[in-house]
Amino acid sequence: MIVSDFAEYEKNGGKMSYVVHVTAIVEGDLEEIEILINDYRHRCLENQSGMEQFLVCRSVEQTNVFLYTQVFKDQDAHKDHIEGDDPKWFFEQMADMEFNFQGQWVAGIEIESSVGRILN
């Protein structure tokens, strides 16, 4: 959760979100890969109640590099995502289309803002 309202933060039991950043280097038809990644994003947001946001950017300098930021309500929601059908579907599609995907990700718990201070 990106805290836009302190009451919402308190309602969530003071828990901060679990945030995942992915850097993906891909090979193949870049326009088709972009469409596939966008489809994947929408599937995840529709199917996974624990996923709060899924942002995707394409590098300006390296057109075959995509950057994802995924925001989950907690670490368990991320685990559910990883073990779920959506990532399996995505990687099956990548393989079927003979696209290469090399990804690296880092994850962590959002740091708490000072009491009374609001992020965004």
What CATH number should be reported for the domain holding residue 34?
A: 3.30.70.100
Return d(Cα 92, Cα 7) in angstroms, integer: 41
**Residue 24 lies inside a defined structural domain of this protein:** yes
Is there a domain that residue 117 lies in?
A: no
Per the structure, how many domains does the chain have? 1
- Residue 118 domain flag: no
Spatial contact of 104 and 22, defined as CB atoms under 8 Å apart: yes
- Tell whether 66 is covered by a domain: yes
Give pLDDT tens digits for 24-45: 999 999 999 999 999 999 999 9
Give the model confidence (pLDDT) of 47-65 as tens digits: 999 999 999 999 999 999 9
Q: Is there a contact between 103 and 23 (Cβ–Cβ < 8 Å)? A: yes
Domain boundaries, position 23: 17-108
In a domain, 119, yes or no: no
Question: How distant is the alpha carbon of residue 113 from its chain centre?
Answer: 22
